[in-house]
């Protein structure tokens, strides 16, 4: 299989990820541009320790389509500038969280680290 065929397969299969548990909608606020509502698989692992403060901060991971129209194109992510509005925990009011890292990406999906 050529790389182009492999990438096409990944792009076409991206929607199947939204059948996973934890799928919902988030609002993406690019540092420059218009916000949009997109589907995401949301992983809520819990607070991450901050040694200097002796406490934790809410850190989540989201899996979105690697697309500039109905997801987030990995090549356009501005870590620290782009934001996601989502509930930090199930049932909570959505809040703005910063995109701090691109964890992984392929032609179909992008996994991002977001935190308050």
Tens-digit pLDDT string for the chain (116 aa): 565 754 565 565 556 666 776 788 999 999 988 999 999 989 876 666 555 555 567 789 999 999 998 999 999 999 989 999 999 888 889 999 999 999 999 888 899 999 98
Q: Which residues pair with 43 in a beta bridge?
A: 61
Look up the domain containing 22 and give its range.
3-95+106-115
pLDDT at 91: 85
pTM (predicted TM-score) = 0.79
Looking at the domain assignment, is residue 74 inside a domain?
yes
Instruction: Report residue 28 CA to chain centroid gap.
Output: 9
Report the domain count for the chain.
1
Q: In the chain, which residue ranges form alpha helices assigned H by DSSP?
A: 3-13
Q: In 14-101, which residue ranges form alpha helices assigned H by DSSP?
A: none
Looking at the domain assignment, is residue 100 inside a domain?
no
Looking at the domain assignment, is residue 20 inside a domain?
yes
């Amino acid at each position: 299989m050529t790389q182009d065929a492999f990438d096409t397969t990944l792009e076409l299969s991206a929607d199947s990820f939204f059948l996973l548990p934890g799928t919902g909608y988030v609002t993406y606020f690019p540092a420059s541009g218009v916000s949009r509502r997109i589907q995401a698989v949301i992983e809520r692992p819990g607070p991450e320790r901050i040694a200097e403060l002796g406490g934790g901060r809410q850190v989540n991971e989201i899996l979105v389509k690697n697309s500039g129209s109905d997801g987030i194109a990995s090549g356009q992510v501005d870590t620290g500038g782009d934001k996601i509005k989502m509930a930090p925990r199930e049932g909570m009011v959505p809040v703005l969280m910063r995109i701090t890292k691109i964890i992984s990406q392929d032609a179909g999906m992008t996994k991002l680290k977001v935190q308050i």
